[in-house]
Amino acid sequence: MDPKLPTAEHILAKILEEEFNVKVGICKFDDIGLLEVYSDVDLREVEIKFLEEKVNEVISRNLPVKKYILPREQAKKEVDLRKVPDKIQKIRIVDIQGFDKRPCKDEHVDNTSEIRKISIQSVERVGKDRYRFLFDVE
């Protein structure tokens, strides 16, 4: 799997959280990336270009992406662990420095400059308040 996709996903997720107060659902990565979020705002009405520009602006800051493991007790002070099962006691944190920090076990790039650009291919409504983004990277 291309580590650019999960890294771009973190950036997109953060922007959606900040702009529209969404809750992140599932994500999947094959040839392209899939991210589902829960939102009160109809995200099909948001301009894709607006989101792409926001993500690409963060990518172009050339931010280092640090990964480290913390015991759960300590990790919970730094990140939201609601989606991490209780039995997992060693938490891997992915820190896009100065921008976003969240628990994740996938592989990510070491610097956002490696991604170059995101392109969002579609936004679909797949449930009452659930929206699915398909995206790719260059």
Closest CB to Zn ion among 50 and 68? 68
Site string for Zn ion, 79-108 (x = CB under 5 A): -------------------------x-x--
Number of residues that bind Zn ion (CB under 5 A): 3
Number of CB atoms found within 10 A of residue 122's CB: 11
Q: Assign 3 to helix, strand or coil.
A: coil
Closest CB to Zn ion among 61 and 105? 105
Closest CB to Zn ion among 43 and 104? 104
- Residues 85, 34: Cα–Cα separation, whole Å: 22
DSSP string, 110-132: SBGGGT--EEEEEEEEEETTEEE
Beta carbon of residue 29, minimum distance to Zn ion (angstroms, whole number): 9
C-beta of residue 117 within 8 angstroms of C-beta of residue 7: no
Nearest-CB residue to Zn ion?
104
By CB under 5 A, name the binding residues for Zn ion. 6, 104, 106
